[in-house]
Amino acid sequence: MLSWLNTRWGTLTYLVGLVICAGLGGLLFGFDHGILLGAAALNLALGVVAAIGLVRTIRKGPAANEGGDPEPAPDWLSMGEIEVRVPGRRQRYLARFAAGAPAVDGMSREERRIAATLRFLGMPEATVVKLDRGADGTGEVPGRQIVEIPALAIRDAARFPGRGRSPWGR
């Protein structure tokens, strides 16, 4: 709850607040016990803030959103294939999900990066094929799900391999 105290500026802020509260306590209640009362008041205030934050986190829960129940994850295997786009790039990819091992031998390096990113995002194993610009006319096939993956996800999938796999097999 008070992880900001572990930072350099958080520690500096705490120490400045402690000096100010101790000084005010000393002026208000005399310097005998006032310094201790001021410091205790600051620590009590920080404890109350941490307790309120903890209660709100427990009551709200990590998966709760404003609308009520969280949306269930889509069943990617039942879709069969999706179209993958990266914002800011012209390339489009077709990802075909397979229950078994995908045919990875025929994929280029770029297609392997997209497949690794999809795994990083929690999708099942997929075979990725680069689509032509002129394929399918306008590029939109009715019924095919279009998924945009951010360029940062591609970078994170390359930087942290193996972290995207869900322990529940999604």
3-class secondary structure, 83 = strand
Structure tokens at 32: 């005998």
CA 165 to CA 170: how far, in whole Å? 8
Name every residue whose Cβ is closer than 8 Å to that of residue 155 and which is 6 or more positions away in sequence.
none
Residue among 164, 82, 60 at smallest CA distance from 128: 82
CA 19 to CA 16: how far, in whole Å? 5
CB atoms within 10 A of CB 139: 14
pLDDT in tens, the chain (170 residues): 566 667 777 777 778 888 888 888 888 888 888 888 888 888 888 888 778 777 777 777 655 445 555 667 777 777 788 899 888 888 889 888 876 655 566 788 888 888 888 888 888 888 888 887 655 445 566 667 888 888 888 888 888 766 555 444 44
